[in-house]
Structure 1
Amino acid sequence: MSDLKLVDKEERQKISEKLDTTFLVEAGAGSGKTKSLVDRMLALLRSGKCRIDTLAAVTFTRKAAAELRGRFQTELEEAVLKEKDKKVKNRLSDALQSLEQCYIGTIHSFCAKLLRERPIEIALDPEFKEMEEIEDAVFREKWWHDYLVKVRLEGEAILQSLAEVGLMPEELKDSFRAVSLYPEVELMGGSKKTPDFSYFRKNLESFLLEAQQIVPKERPEKGFDGLQRCMRRCFVRQRNLGFGDYRILMDTFELMDRNLGVTKNRWPSREVADAFQEEFNRFKEIVVTDALKQWREYRHTRILDFLKPAICFYEEKRRQKSRLNFEDLLLNTSRLLRENPEVRQYFSRKFTHILLDEFQDTDPIQAEVILYLTGADCEERDWRKLVPKPGSLFLVGDPKQSIFRFRRADIDTYNVVKEQIEKGGGEVLHLTANFRSLHSLADWNNPVFKGIFPGDSDRYQPAYAPLNTVREDEEKTSFGVYKITVPKIKWSRAKNIAEYDADAITNWISWACKGNVCFARTKKEKDKGLNKAQPSDFLLLFRYKKNMNIYARALEERGIPFEITGSDAFSESVEIREIVNLARALNDPENPIYTVAVLRGIFFGVSDNELLQFKREGGKFSFLLDFREGENLGGARVGESMKRLREWWDWTKKYPASTALEMIFENSGIINYLATSEMGSSKAGNLFKLLEILRAQEREGMTSFAGLVEFMEELTSVHEIEEISLTPGRANAVRLMNLHKAKGLESPVVFLANPVGIRPHEPDKHVIRVKEVNPQGYFLFKKWGMYQGKLISQPVNWEERAEEEKKYGEAEETRLMYVAATRARNLMVISTYEGDISNKRAWKALDDKLGGVPELEIREKTAVKEREKLVLRGGELDKARGKLKGNINAAIRPSYLLESVTSLAKKEKELPGWRKSGFGMSWGRVVHNILEVAGKGGDEKLDLLAENALVAEGRDAGEKGKLMRLIDSILKSDFWQRIMKAEKRYFEIPFSIKTDSSALVVDEWEEKGEKGALAKKEERGSTKYDEISEREKLPIILTGAIDLAFFEKDGWVIADYKTDEVGDGLESFVKYYGAQVELYSKYWEEITKQKVKEAGLYFTSLDKWVKIYPNMQI
């Protein structure tokens, strides 16, 4: 290791040593953010500053939470083994035993946890359900349509208001979606002042009058140019419609609000063309721009008046359905903590130390929640004035990787909280040691980003910090930075450029995986025996999602396994739309349009000629008709297809919707068909993803086929859904993903693929988050067509806000380049294009620095593998069916058995007669639940708990008096006092253990003194055991739940409560239950590796402890 590893040694020591200091750790790429979190968590536990149950670690994603939990558990186990100090060892050991009590998860799950615990304070249904992003998007779509229906029935005035500015409600769906994602911001309005339409009409009429004298009336030989066509349309509008209606006037200005140029050979002379071009541009700048600005600001207020009730309508529907989306979870938690100081105090005591990962991706409401929980002043309602209690908050992030402004996370929030921490006596630590990349990568990256990031941080951008790498370049391995140059291609078509680039990249990967390339490996990789290149060593990153599939197809053609992430191909896929068509047809069998669409589609492939012939011969496109006589109409294919549709329709009536759909997939062979087609894994995987989404809806109560058809229709209009392959998460595959999905990931080789991006979009929103004001949202609203959006409204002062947003956007683009360039461990390859694509370069900031970078040498071109055609020979089909049947039989044959201690101990024993008429199992559960709470120190809650427990078990509330008398007698008993004095005590302990049948042979109960109630047969001489079945050879998973285990100085005591009215039959009762306690004792010792000194039954009705083990004493 290089000495550079020690550059930030003092900073790292503070993490584990200064536990009473609040820290914001700015950890650069590859600096070990997860290790910093784990080190802090272990240090807090070692010191006794907090317990495992008061520690919370909040992450950005579920995947990150799972990784952190795994790392923490591993480090905690090692710490327990290595610790010498007995007191510290006990702390760590207790933490390990109670690891599940430590919260490690996402901020949304954390908020849900808080809300479920204290819902009453904000009138929230305690049984609320959390909505995932897909479900939220689909529900938003549904309730938007319901809102439109409501408005048409009840909102004549608001519809009239929109009509007056030339808008239809349906045109505002995208605007509704945009503002609904920002429920916490104040939407800034437009202008209420009516534009001076008369002034603008006079100017337009005057300009057109002059233009009519100049624009050619006859069509030029080569046709009209763009400006001439526009002017001719204006002339027609004026002649046929006039400009008395101000909506037509403004539509005409929108026609003129484009970059319209002249083609000089289409005009009488070059001078005339130039003069009119200049005159048109001047008119557009002075009149058109001003007119449209006033018009759009005027419209904006009307649109907000329509959208605000829509947002409230959707919010109310979520509340009625007890559904909370991610924003609801955050906002409700924030409100709960802000408005209830006592709740804030309660949770501050419950979670004394909070650690937050990826803080640069935290949105303002998340920051608000965290500061309410850790703030020193529980009465302060303004989170921006709160200062965390010393040591209560530990934040880890890298502002240079803040790339989710479009998801409400922005650098402003980061800067605000950073300032609050510093003002409150906290510290900002800087970790720059990089354990990921080789020196050669840092040698290229550092000069690049030193010239891009500022020397000192500002409101838009953090300061430059170097990557101090510790990994040395190794000889005879591949390392460093290379480029792939795509030569100039005619017309510079993006698809052709991507195809060339994809071929180069996949050819090199194919060559490398043949043993031609070796990499410097980490210790972990060396331990796995890795040296030469394999598919999982390669990561392809894309700045944008467009054309990702071209690279996936190139990998597939070369037989290289791959996984694609971040593609929106699900909702756009042909196969999903075909399934929706099928579902529509099955849901509405009398609709011939749906039926014909399915017949023509991938399920049946009936030709138009066959359909025409079928219709001419008298056929009807209804599969509910009987086709036994008419099945040959138009050829057999139509009739057979209709019969198949009828069979599928029957299934939708007999089975749950998702089951019927799955049966249809299997019966039709569509999964096999798609899996063997181009990009088959993704296509077939989409079908399984659809089934999983539909099953989730069924679990939520949507069980009708008609309901799921409606849900599927809305699902296909949601663009947030990513495709999935048939084999997601396979270990050895090339990964392809868009850049936003790659944050936190790394790979030995990273290709920054596809040099062509898209033109930068003009800002369409700007949110102001500063200390002096509440969040303010400025939104542009557009009406989207097939390919582009048309601006329909804007807020007042938008031009200033747009310029400000551009600065934020440009700064974030730089950070995106930083994220891209810091994923590689050994080798980074950047694709570039020789031709001129102006501002559409995908990797612009890096592209500019490729001057001295060597070209990646493509050693060989891999032959594309043609898809093999399947040819079946005689008997092969029957053989394959036989093999499949054998595989199915093997799959359904059990590989283990399940057995419970209770059923095993009572096997072949007769139920004691007195027990058959007792209080029953529900009475026992009530007593068990109350004793568990009492044993954990909840005595003050027992009265209320008794009422609830009886209701939950469906018992008479009048039994409460008898129940409480029984509980009171137990709590006063000598046995209970013995429990309370124990060093450790655990209640209702579930367990499972793997064993085999030979260890579970139970003798009939006999009074065997020291031998005990449970004895294993040494010989199998009886007829009963002469023949051991296959089932008896299987391993057994034995499960049970121990009522009580408590530890005294010389060992553990295992107890089982019995709540029956025993009467005079104690001995019979002991015979019936004794073996159960013996089994509990045996497996407690086996699981814990600690001695059980005593085990027995406690009879609550007699207040009697009967020792069963080691020597039975009745």
Structure 2
Amino acid sequence: MTLTNQQARAAAADGSVAVVAGAGSGKTHMLVARFLHHLDAHGLTPLQIVAVTFTEKAAVELRARVRRAVQLARPDDFDTLAELDAAQISTIHALCARILRDHPEAAGILPGARILDEQQTQLWLAGQYGQALASLPERVFQRIPYSRMSHLLGALLADPIAAERAFQVSSEHWATWAAQAQTRAVRKLTGSVAWQNTLDVLRAFTGADHDRIESARREAIQHATALPGDPTSHAAGLLDVKLTGGSAKNWPDGGLSEVKDAVKTLRKLTEDALKEGLTLTLGPSDTWLEAALPDLREAFELVRAFLAERKRREGLLDYADLEVYALHALRDPDVRAHYARRWRAFLLDEFQDTNPIQDEILRLLRGDARTTIVGDEKQSIYGFRRADVRLFRLVRQDIAEGGGEEVQLDLSFRTHRALVEQSNAIFAPLLGDLHAPLQAAREAAHAPGSCVEAYLVQADATSTQLRRAEGTFIARRIQELLGGGFLIQGEDGPRPVRRGDIAVLSRTWGPLEGYGAALNAAGIPVVQAGGGSLLETRQALDALGLLTAVALHDPLAIIGTLRSPFCAVSDRTLQELHLAREDRSWLDVLDLSEDPAVQRARQLLRTLQSERRALSLSRLLQLADRLTGYTAVLANLWNAERRLADWRGTLDFIRSLERGEEDVFPVVRRLGELVSADLHVPRPVLEAGDAVTLLTMHGAKGLEWPVVIVADLGWTPPSSSNGVLFSPEYGVACREGAEEAEPPVVFAVMNASRAEREDAEARRLLYVALTRARDHLILTASGNSSHSLLALLEPGLGSAGVSITPVIPEEGDLGLASLGRLPTPAAPREVLIHREEAKIKSGL
């Protein structure tokens, strides 16, 4: 195998090694070489090596690449090739499942349990969770109402071991944490350059004694100077400084506007510091929390035990159970000794995305075996899955202290030199101490110049209108690239860019629908590769609405079905039906209309109702499609491939729920419950082909394209959490009620810590998104928030010499007409209200 010096050093390390692998640096290639080194130099067999990957897809790829390498290096070694098929190359959850199969008694489970994947777990919980809550004693709802208790317990049960440990933290530390938070906030505020510079401005100017702004200036200086001694009163005093009045003639040496701006800056800095605990003290909310925590803990333990018993009876395990029981098994010295004899080397990929329980499992499992960890702190973006980037640092430190090596892979095989250099300049201020410059293995395919573009759509318009205009701009920029002979590096040399070479990425799925519509209006084919939840798609909602109308005669579902592509009844006709309805049901009123679309809709509903006892739900939907040409309508809409895939996925999902049920009623009700519970069902994955790919930043991890457009950089994160926060360090905390109320001390402390972690993760997510580009990078945003993702990038863009070009939309770019779609006529008010309440959307 051909390796760089860095890859060869990592692959041939005699002992344990920590590999910090930058984006596109060939870490999988190195892991294959490391696996072969264990076979050749250390005399191990594949059955003595464990490789842990983040996804099943990565495990399959690693096994296949190791097999090819062994075939080349040892073409006649059939035993090794045979053992590769049985080697433990898998995800962490597959590894945990192996431990439970080997040692069910030590784990405390019955042999032969069936493992539920994430979707199956959600389906199972949707059917059991309500029963678990209903079994709770009434006393636990005394301070936390039922609906809120349901939400809080759901979050706690997602990480049961961490929650269990968090409940053991005493409230006796709260006062100390409040004082510490206050001290940190005071030091950060008063020691900041912005605070000191602003005070210097206030001291540099003086107005007449009788001028109101002069009084405000003195008052502000007084409160700012005295704030460290009494943060609560002087922070309030600063925020109360009035800036009314004042006259320029009372400031003969100037400074009136400067002083006003400086006071405003002090107030803004103080407001920011309040969010970090500047005036944090124990209060009524802490008294409430202290009283409520025993109820929450009891409810957690009872629901957890209820669900565990149900799973035990049914012989089921979810992914969280795999981790819990594997950890339990590995606490047995005999189990650890068994694996110490069997497994002699570990290859742990994507270690930056490991959570604390997984780290504990791997520590117990690997013991003193040779360990190779591969990761990149800059690409740790799964905090919402409880990944803790600090664990990568700790294991790197352990390896170094144990005499192992650390190797940096910083040569990018993905991105050309010019883009790497500009990216390095962007990432230095974005990532701070985390930044590690990349080197490039190739040159650019196009003429010298900036490889990064940045645009900001600005107008006096709503955020929705601005996002539409951003989509229209993206479409025009792609047209320019496609029509202007822009060159990228192909397999056989430079070639013009094609549609399939381009990806549009955003922080969330929401904006991609609008961007896709804009590209479609411009004649550019797109594909939403996957992501989001199937049950939130229009096709799934159309299907649920039709089935609910047929099975339950629900008026809201009937309205949604009439407006959907199944029937395509206009809003004007719906309004006429509404006015004529009086006390009649919606089904009866359909007989009054002579409109052909209404008559076809009535016949459709009658036919399906007559067949509902003979056909399953999925067959009813197929019949509806044949009678109405529903999929033919989808095939003629933009993004047809995506819509048709979602329709097929919806049918498959409904089939999985039927289980031979003869009556459609329970299945329809169950479908409605799953939608209401926000069950996440993955959408079918599509290949892009010759179309522009639309994908989230998270979904793009591990992928690459010649041209990447990172859009919706005007996105701003939510300011705080209104749910439950918990950690083994600080305990468990939640608010009593509205977000505006003063939070408990421990909640404020953990929320500030959460905000810091999420800010750091947002920066790392930008690193991941920007490093998906091989040849060219385009950044777009709309709006002008100082807390947006674009604001995080601005210092780096300045360092890289990239100007943010303002885009002023044309008048039509802010409306639906610019996307090639006409506004829908207004529906009757009752219909609109019903549609919102029922979460039923039209398919157009």
TM-score after normalising by structure 2? 0.75
SS in 2 for 1:728: coil
Hey, what does 1:18 align to over in structure 2?
A: 13
Question: Match for 1:99: what amino acid?
Answer: L
Q: Which amino acid aligns with 2:451?
A: V
- Pairing partner for 1:358 from 350, 355, 379: 350
Which runs of structure 2 are paired with 1:1056-1067 in the superposition (5 Å)?
none
Q: Which of the numbers 504, 507, 531 marks the counterpart of 1:543?
A: 507
Number of the residue aligned with 2:495: 531
Percent identity of equivalent pairs: 25
Equivalent residue number for residue 557 of structure 1: 521
Higher Cα Rg, which structure:
1
Aligned partners of 2:45 and 2:298: how far apart in 1?
A: 51
Q: 1:371 maps to which residue?
A: 363
Distance in 2 of aligned mates of 1:728 and 1:430: 35
AA aligned opposite 1:180: L
Residues 856-867 of structure 1 correspond to what in structure 2 (within 5 A)?
none
Q: Does 1:100 align with 2:88?
A: no
1:78-125 alpha-carbon deviations (Å, 9 max, x no partner): 2235xxxxxxxx44x432244322233322222223323432433424
What is the deviation of 1:867? 8.4
Tell me if structure 1 keeps the 8 A contact 2:153–2:300.
yes
| 1:588 aligned partner | 552
Residue type at the aligned position of 2:360: E
Deviation track 1:415-450 (CA, whole Å, cap 9, x = no partner) reads: 332233233332222221221111112212223333
2:438 paired residue number: 467
Q: Map of 1:415-454 to 2, 5 A cutoff? A: 415-454=393-432
Asked if residue 750 in structure 1 is aligned to residue 708 in structure 2, the reply is yes
Per-residue CA deviation, residues 259-311 of structure 1 (Å, 9 max, x unaligned), is: 9999999xxxxxxxxxxxx9xx99xx999993445445544444444344233
Cross-structure match for 1:977:
none
Q: Tell me the SS of whatever aligns to 1:430.
A: strand
Q: Which has the higher helix share?
A: 2
Do 1:296 and 1:792's aligned partners in 2 also have CA atoms closer than 8 Å? no
Aligned to 2:104: 119
Q: Deviations over 1:389-423 (max 9, x none)?
A: 2x2x2211112211212211112222332233233
What does residue 336 of structure 1 align with? 329
Once the two structures are superposed, residues 582-637 of structure 1 have per-residue CA deviations (whole angstroms, 9 ceiling, x without a partner) of 32343335x66655664565533554466568867x976679xxxxxx99544486
TM-aligned CA distance change 1:855 to 1:450, over 3 Å: closer
The answer as to 2:462 corresponding to 1:504 is no
The one-character-per-residue Cα deviations of 1:817-862 (angstroms, maximum 9, x if unpaired) are 32223222111122256x642213446235652472267899xx99
CA pair 261-490 structure 1, distance change in 2 beyond 3 A:
farther
Structure 1 residues 45 and 645: alpha-carbon distance in aligned structure 2, compared to 1, 3 A threshold: same
> Is residue 39 from structure 1 mapped to residue 33 from structure 2 by the alignment?
yes
2:111 aligned counterpart, secondary structure:
coil
2:303 to 303, 310, 324: 310
- Cα distance in 1 between the residues matched to 2:286 and 2:558: 49
1:766-805 mapped onto 2 (5 Å cutoff)? 768=727, 777-781=731-735, 790=739, 797-805=746-754
Correspondence for 1:829 among 750, 759, 778 = 778
Change (3 A) 1:652 1:793: farther
Task: Choose from 655, 662, 673 the match for 1:695.
Answer: 655
Tell me by how many angstroms 1:767 deviates: 5.6
* SS of structure 2 residue aligned to 1:741: coil
3-state SS, counterpart of residue 471 of structure 1: coil
Deviations 1:213-249 (A, max 9, x none): xxxxxxxxxxxxxxxxxxxxxxxxxxxxxxxxxxxxx
CA distance in 1, matches of 2:818, 2:353: 42
Give the Å deviation of 1:814.
2.7
Residue of structure 2 equivalent to 1:458 = none
Q: Offset at 1:466?
A: 1.7
Contact conserved, 1:749 with 1:825, CA < 8 A, in 2? yes
AA aligned opposite 1:439: R
Amino acid at match of 2:676: S
Q: Contact between 2:525 and 2:639, CA under 8 Å: does it hold in 1? A: no
Q: Distance in 1 between matches of 2:161 and 2:321?
A: 10
Query: How many angstroms apart in 2 are the aligned matches of 1:75 and 1:325?
Result: 35
Post-superposition Cα deviations, 1:163-202, rounded to whole Å, max 9, x if no partner, equal: xxxx420233322222111111123489999xxxxxxxxx
Report the aligned-residue RMSD: 4.2
- The answer to whether the Cα contact below 8 Å between 1:613 and 1:634 also exists between their aligned partners in 2 is no
Report how far residue 747 of structure 1 moved. Answer: 1.6
* Aligned-partner residue type, residue 537 of structure 1: D
Contact in 2 for aligned 1:585/1:594 (Cα 8 Å):
yes
Counterpart code for 2:425: P
Look up the match of 2:566. Answer: 603
Distance 1:702 1:332 in 2: 34
Shift of 1:150: 2.6
* 1:762-911 alignment runs, 5 A limit: 762=720, 768=727, 777-781=731-735, 790=739, 797-832=746-781, 836-842=784-790, 844-846=792-794, 848-850=796-798, 852-853=801-802
Equivalent residues, number:
715
Q: Which residue of 1 aligns with 2:24?
A: 30
In structure 2, what is the equivalent of residue 158 of structure 1? 140
1:100-156, Cα deviation, whole Å (9 max, x unpaired)? 2223332222222332343243342433222232332343333332233333xxx23
| Worse overlay, 123-132 or 320-329 | 123-132
Matches within 5 A, 1:969-984: none
Looking at structure 2, the residues matched to 114 and 141 of structure 1 have their Cα atoms a distance apart, in angstroms, of: 28
Q: Is the 8 A contact 1:357 1:397 kept in 2?
A: yes
* Aligned CA distance change for structure 1 residues 335 and 674 (closer, same or farther; 3 Å): same
Counterparts in 2 of 1:371 and 1:695: CA distance versus 1, 3 Å: farther
Report whether the alignment pairs 1:139 with 2:124. Answer: yes
- Quick one: structure 1 residues 368 and 535, their matched pair in 2 at CA, closer, same or farther if it must change by over 3 Å? same
Change (3 A) 1:287 1:513: closer
CA contact (8 A) 2:710 2:778 kept: yes
> Which residues of structure 2 form unaligned runs of 5+?
173-238, 246-266, 823-844
8 A Cα contact 1:190 1:301, kept in partner: no
Structure 1 gap ranges (5+): 82-89, 194-258, 266-277, 376-387, 456-462, 624-629, 769-773, 784-788, 869-1114
User: Aligned letter for 1:553?
Assistant: A
Deviation of residue 39 (structure 1)?
0.7
Q: Which has the higher contact order (CA 8 A, sep 6+)?
A: 2
2:54–2:349 Cα contact (<8 Å) kept: yes
Alpha-carbon deviations, 1:625-664, whole Å to 9, x = none? xxxxx99544486665444334324444234443343333
Kept in 1: contact 2:411–2:438 (CA 8 A): yes
Q: SS at 1:826's partner residue? A: strand
Aligned letter for 1:604? C
Which amino acid is 2:327 matched to? S
Tell me whether 1:187 sits opposite 2:155 in the alignment: no
Distance in 1, Cα, partners of 2:731 & 2:159: 8
Counterpart pick for 2:672 among 705, 713, 717: 713
In structure 2, the CA distance between the partners of 1:667 and 1:59, relative to structure 1 (3 Å rule), is farther
| Deviation by residue 1:726-765 (Cα, 9 ceiling, x = unmatched) | x812333322222222222222112221231124533666
